[in-house]
Structure 1
């Protein structure tokens, strides 16, 4: 009886899992998780800020969430148009602006008009940067066509879970989640700079 031929799917899957060892892919996965953790850490706890420091009624919570959501739609649209050909520029400009926005929200949360405007801006920046990082994950994981999307989704889900868990520990201060988000984005920028220099290229190149 001839020996059974090995299934071609086994080696293929092993090869696709092996792509995770690529430094470029691992780098972008970490960045995406950090940025998404910052996004959901603050988004999850907007209500205490709206009804606390901003002094607005609970009816404004829905408006705040809608503004953030509208900004998110604008950010995803921008990432779709710019993320492929101008990823480096989007990340180099959007990353520091995102950090500054979270700091500004923490400092100016007691000004309702500024708070609401910044929520739209932060929604746009968060999803423009996050969407661009997703595109970079798919690019870096080109050797794993069946699993590339799963890798991107996993990184985003890790951020979406870890961010709110961390933010919950700083709720003693209503603007604590904003400061935490700023710290997470700062960590992402620092990691991008260090890992980028080790790769021998500009920090903004992912």
Structure 2
């Protein structure tokens, strides 16, 4: 009789085994769709900015980008701007250590400008967290103005300034364009 019970329950056992074997694809498939949807949001927002390659590069560099909404993506780009401002501040500090006269004083002003830009970007992030998008845009604008002033001042010393400083300044402006465009969309 025990053998008979085994055969009667065999279809149930097979069904349970099939469910166990097939369940991982059933549960992971919706997650893949979710990730694709977020990647589409990133692509859409970055392609609406003037500088999609810089935007995508920045956003992809963040671990949490695929879970980010529009505000989160804007914050990621502001973080990239902060990183770039910090790198510029350090590179210009190195340049100032070997500069003399007017070039040295311009470098020192630029260092202070990028310190202020970093503070403005922190304020922009806070405003984004509080959903105060107008304020966030204003802070990002102020941060950009310090970078543009520095670039304009250093252009007269173009031959004495490492090319990577100007490249980073260009990326800083591109990140601004992306951040501002996304802030306008959210």
Query: TM-score, length-normalised on structure 1?
Result: 0.43
Query: TM-score, length-normalised on structure 2?
Result: 0.46
Larger Rg: 2
